Each structure stands twice: as structure tokens, then as C-alpha cells.
Amino acid sequence: MHCNFCNIIKKEANALVVWENREFLLFLDIKPINPGHLLLIPKKHIGDVFLLEERTYVRLFKKVKQIAAIVKKNMKAPRVGIAIEGFGVPHAHVHIVPVYKGNELNPLKAKCISEKKMTNINNLFVGSFNGMG
């Protein structure tokens, strides 16, 4: 079965991974709505966030809360939006997006940014998530 996110987990596909533990992986979305847009995924392949086993689901959202605080601080964003749809890649994922005004959490606004800009954003996050466990 081909799954882009499983390939990232297996290091067979490139991604700017900013944090991981044994259960979850956090990386920069290659097509951000705003710079600093992250994707949090479980390492075990499951098609939908809402199919996660209850305890894993709770742990996932505890991570979302920790990550949102760090994104808010690092990106100087007044708010952090989260979104779950799952039409693009059939592997459970949560979008975590710094937002600066209303209605920005819109997938139509997602666009690729330069590799240099991605690297700069990645550098802003380096080490920031180390305390998350």
C-alpha cells in the first residue's frame, strides 16, 4: 500500500520533521496555509483521526495543545487553528496552523513556498518541541 505519510515515517520520503516520539511525528506541511503550518500524525497507519483508539486520540490532542502553544509563540500568531479533513492523504493527520485574522484556515489558501523559506521556518522551530516528551 502506498502512503506518503508512512513513507515519511520510514524516512523513505523527505519532510522537515520538527519533533517525534515513539507514537507521533510532527512536520512542516509542504503546502502551508501560512508559514509554520504543521501536520501531526500517528506513526501507526490509520485512515482517519476519528478511528484512533480512545487513549491514542486523547494523547494526540494533548500534543496538539502543547504544539499550538509553541506555534503561537514562535510564529507570533494571535491564534492557532486546527483542521481535520483527510481527503488528501489517507493517513490520519491534524493540521496545526498559525492564523492572524478570521477565515484564514482555508485549504484554498494553501500554497507551496520556497525551499529557502521552508528552511527558515524549520530553523525557527529547531529545538522548540524538545520538551514535549
Q: Active-site positions?
A: 93
Angle at 42 between CA 78 and CA 5, to 5 degrees: 95
The whole-angstrom separation of Cα 75 and Cα 19 is 16
Which residue's CB is nearer to Zn ion, number 3 or number 30? Answer: 3
> Which residue reads 510532527 in cell numbers?
26
Site for Zn ion in 74-113 (CB under 5 A): 91
Site for Zn ion in 29-48 (CB under 5 A): 45
Closest CA to 118 of 43, 42, 34: 34
User: Taking the complex as a whole, how short is the minimal distance between the CB of residue 94 and Zn ion, in angstroms?
Assistant: 14
Give 108's contacts (C-beta < 8 A, 6+ positions apart).
none
**CB-closest chain residue to Zn ion:** 3
| 6 in contact with Zn ion (CB under 5 A) | yes
Size of interface with Zn ion, in residues (CB under 5 A): 5
User: Taking the complex as a whole, how short is the minimal distance between the CB of residue 7 and Zn ion, in angstroms?
Assistant: 8
- Amino acid identity of residue 110, one-letter, is A
Question: Footprint of Zn ion on this chain (CB under 5 A)?
Answer: 3, 5-6, 45, 91
